[in-house]
Amino acid sequence: MTQRSDKPKTLAELRSRVSVDDRDLLDFCWASYSSSGKHPKIRDAYYKFEKPRVEDAVNRLGGSLIRRTWSSDTPGEEYHVTHLGALCSNDGPRLSGLVVRYVRALKKLYDANHETRGLRSPEFKPYLDATGAELGDGDMRDLGRLLVLGVRLVDASPVGPQPDGTWYINIGENIDDIRRVDDFTAFTDRELVKDFEANEPVTEIDRASKHPNLPIFAMGPNSSMTAGSEEAEDNNALSEKTAVTRLIEAMKNHPAVAFVLLMLPVAGGALGVANLWYSSVISEYRQKVEELSAELSKLRQELAQIRTPQTPERTGKQPHGK
């Protein structure tokens, strides 16, 4: 994709920025996810296209279209196509047509019963079918897959899919905005690209660094790790902050910590960590965890020394009156 800092105004403009070669990777990732509900392994992408070509394409596409992340259930990393990435694939025109029908169906649902706050895809299908030809199972599946990748329009938030392939729509208060949409195609084309960021990082850790609201920043200079630093002398506080910053950077960039932090939301907290520990994935990182533990121990000692008041012998200064 041509690297430009300006945000595209329409989905068509965004598609025009993706080269034919880069679109091949998006096609591969979307086809895998569409058919199985699972994102392709990085190794599979490397095997099909060769690593240098894949990495060059990923760097050009950026994190708004494709992301590198850990699997939630099997060993190894994956390439996750985003909803914008899928819409920029060769299947994009068909998928964007499904999104237009989805928004039209939301309008019909709101007109029929404005109190509806959510419903399952089988209950939603009649409203979709009312916007055109009846949708087949494949279209319903792909629409659900695309929506849960991150499509958020007129305060409707799809979740799922369930094991049976169905999905669910949560409908918020701002659904009333849909009454002021007069051209559903233009609205969809315009609103979808608002999620695009030209410099969005590809990896989870880099995105966490860019977006401080992500969980990885739960531990930072203002956390409990630095409690009491305001009472310390200025030079000690500065040194302590420096040490903590080094600690955060070491943890943030450590593969083991990155993996565990990424898995916590997926696995469900402590229970998820317990399950992951006995999985084949986490076993690959036990040695790295031990190395990190040793590093943490050294940094704790350094913090303890910083907090210890300096004596005259250590500072080289003589007490008053001597």
Tell me whether residue 2 is in a domain: no
| Position 319 in a domain | no
CA distance linking residue 40 with residue 71, whole number of Å: 10
65 and 132, same domain (yes or no): no
Per-residue DSSP letter, 20:
H
Asked if residues 161 and 145 have their Cβ atoms less than 8 Å apart, the reply is: yes
- Give burial (CB, 10 Å; 0-12/13-18/19+) of 65: buried
CATH number for the domain spanning 164: value is: 1.10.10
Q: Is 254 helix (H, G, I), strand (E, B) or coil?
A: coil
**Structural domain total, the chain:** 3
Model confidence over 291-322: pLDDT tens digits?
A: 566 667 677 777 767 766 655 544 454 545 44
Q: Last residue of some domain: 165, 195, 225?
A: 195
Last residue of a domain, one of 138, 163, 195: 195
Q: Is the pLDDT of residue 237 over 70?
A: no
Q: Is residue 320 part of a domain?
A: no
List phi, psi (to 5°) of 132: 170, -155
Whether residue 231 lies inside any domain: the answer is yes
pLDDT of residue 216: 40
213 and 185 within one domain: no
Are residues 116 and 209 part of one domain?
no
In this predicted model, what pLDDT tens digit does every residue of 78-98 receive, in sequence order? 999 999 999 999 999 999 999
Contact 169, 158 (CB under 8 A): yes
Shared domain for 300 and 277, answered yes or no, is: yes
Q: Which segments within the chain are labelled E, that is strand?
A: 66-70, 77-81, 118-120, 156-159, 168-171
Return d(Cα 63, Cα 59) in angstroms, integer: 8
Q: What is the pTM of this model?
A: 0.66
Question: What residues make up the domain containing 53?
Answer: 11-87
Residue 4's pLDDT band, with cuts at 50, 70 and 90, is: low
Q: Do residues 19 and 89 lie in contact, with contact meaning Cβ atoms separated by under 8 Å?
A: no
Q: Do 83 and 100 sit in the same domain of this protein?
A: no
Same-domain pairing of 182 and 210: no
- Beta strands of 116-257 (E only): which ranges? 118-120, 156-159, 168-171
Residues 6+ positions from 59 with CB-CB distance below 8 Å: 202
Please identify, among 141, 166, 195, the residue that sits at the C-terminal boundary of a domain.
Answer: 195
